[in-house]
Structure 1
Amino acid sequence: MINAQSKPKHSFSERKPVLTVVIIELLLLLAVFAAGAIATIKQLDYTSPVLISFTPIAIVLMIYLTLRRKWGETGFRSLRSIPAGHAKYYIPLLLVLGTLALKGFGELSLSRVAFFVFFTLLVAFVEETIYRGLIFKILLRKSAVAAVVTSSILFSITHLLNALSGQHMTDTIMQLIYALLLGAALALLMLKNGNIVPLILFHFIHNLIQFLGNDLEDTGTLPYDLFILAVLIAYCAWLVWSIRTNSSIPSKGSEQANTVVH
């Protein structure tokens, strides 16, 4: 006998959002750990673990988003979808990029620049799609706070992998705090405007400046780093205030739109 009032089917991520996020994070870490082991055995350079792990991940993400038609739902939409009055919320990101650029740049060559353009664009696409796209969207079904806080913490934890490559513990702790604040700011922007494209562009340029920048001593970068941390703290506070002031409950858009607060 056919049940005329059959219940609508829900995806695994809808039924088990927390477990889905845990699985995504574990798979990402496993891929990076495995790539790191391969790079160590074969004595490859420091960019190899990311290239080995992120390249297939990027391909899988593009196939998944295309076949499931989830590009728009994940935040890949025209920049014109961002309200004109919200352009000001991206200004602090330009301040961060400008501060990083003040450190100067090392010796540049066409091959070096071309390689790091590809490398940093790959990292930006994968990390933003996973943390501010998939994970953020999954947890948004529980609450905006859960989406922002959890995605930011997981983004920060991922940078613990740098400690395994021999990075000094003080530098790792500073990077964890930096990644947490930066992740929170980008997640709040995602909540505010629902568009992941500016976040990928920022992440790409941010990392490109860092990789092409001067290798200054720790004491030389500390003033810049502390200033950026202060900017990010104030930035997060501003975004939280703006979101809470304009709407305590985010409005729901169409099937192809993320939550946007106007």
Structure 2
Amino acid sequence: MTEILTKTKPKPAFSENRPVLAIIIIQLLLLFAVSAAGAYATIKELDYTAPVLLSFIPIALALIVYLTLRKKWGFAGFRPLSAIPHGGWKYYLPLVAVLIVIGTNGLKALTPGQIYFFIFFTLLVGFVEETVYRGLILNILLRKSASTAVIVSSLLFGVTHILNALSGQNAVDTTIQIVYSLVVGLSLALLMVKNRNIVPLILFHFVHNLIQFLGNERTSIGPDLLIIAILAAHCVWVGISLKKGKASA
């Protein structure tokens, strides 16, 4: 009987046996795809959005196939919004404040075609980045600890945005963007641990980027610094909530 049970026991997933190696592979594949697409776009003198489109479209398709075949949608946090507890919705309010701050720049004059393109583009980015960092990497690391999952997934999310420095961005803007992406990553990762739902995170990421693409160019770093402060306070708030919940459990 023992032998039969041993033979029929499902084999643990690779990410369960070697979570660190699984995360390294995911991060390296993503960086390689973006870097290769960026090099190709530079050689061919393509539009600045080309590297993301060339790399993220196949990544998005691969993620959809993987999550479907492995039945991992729930694992990655794709759940109905109704699954979020009533008391959990208040933790998204700082994200709304961030969107309001970004929207104060006003909107550019764009054609309907450009608007439709940016809607597709930002939805693609939101889906891929959230699924990779908050859906897969964070959840793989949760088997170790919540703090490890939050910190590592956020650091990797921030490191990925260093690639923007290759597009000719100055050092100050790049530094602010890295800090910005780090606090965004921490904030969203904590929300993922708190409510276990990736859908609001994808929606925020999508709307956040869309407003930036449709909006006027910023003329100062003030709004970015304000957003960093809002998200830093948000991280403290959600972190304290998680500690209290753990203590009362």
Name 2:237's counterpart in structure 1: 238
Q: Tell me, yes or no, if structure 1 residue 4 matches structure 2 residue 19.
A: no
Aligned partners of 2:40 and 2:225: how far apart in 1? 35
Aligned partners of 1:213 and 1:249: how far apart in 2? 44
Choose which of 117, 120, 125 in structure 2 pairs with 1:118: 120
For 1:238, the aligned partner's letter is W
Aligned partners of 2:72 and 2:248: how far apart in 1? 24
Pairwise CA distance, 1:136:
0.6
Name 1:46's counterpart in structure 2: 48
Aligned residue for 2:53, secondary structure, equals: helix
Aligned residue for 1:74, secondary structure, equals: coil
User: In angstroms, what is the RMSD of aligned CA positions?
Assistant: 1.5
Structure 1 runs (4+) greater than 6 angstroms displaced: none
TM-score by length of 1: 0.91
Matches within 5 A, 1:77-226: 77-216=79-218, 220-226=219-225
For 1:3, the aligned partner's letter is E
Name 1:258's counterpart in structure 2: none
The size of the alignment, in residue pairs, is: 247
The percentage of aligned residue pairs carrying the same residue is 58
Aligned residue for 1:160, secondary structure, equals: helix
Aligned partners of 1:73 and 1:130: how far apart in 2? 12
Pairwise CA distance, 1:240:
0.3
- Kept in 2, the 8 Å contact 1:65–1:71? The answer is yes
Pairwise CA distance, 1:249:
8.8
Pairwise CA distance, 1:213:
1.0
Aligned partners of 1:21 and 1:139: how far apart in 2? 9
Pairwise CA distance, 1:221:
2.8
Q: Tell me, yes or no, if structure 1 residue 19 matches structure 2 residue 21.
A: yes
For 2:242, the aligned partner's letter is I
Aligned partners of 2:54 and 2:80: how far apart in 1? 30
Aligned partners of 2:185 and 2:22: how far apart in 1? 20
- Kept in 2, the 8 Å contact 1:103–1:221? The answer is no
- Give per-residue Cα distances to partners, 1:32-87, cap 9 Å, x unaligned: 01101110111001000000000000000001111111111210010000001111
Aligned partners of 1:87 and 1:21: how far apart in 2? 30
TM-score by length of 2: 0.96
For 2:173, the aligned partner's letter is D
Pairwise CA distance, 1:103:
1.1
Aligned partners of 2:15 and 2:75: how far apart in 1? 14
Aligned partners of 2:73 and 2:5: how far apart in 1? 31
For 2:239, the aligned partner's letter is V
Aligned partners of 1:33 and 1:248: how far apart in 2? 44
Which runs of no fewer than 5 residues in structure 1 stay unpaired?
251-262
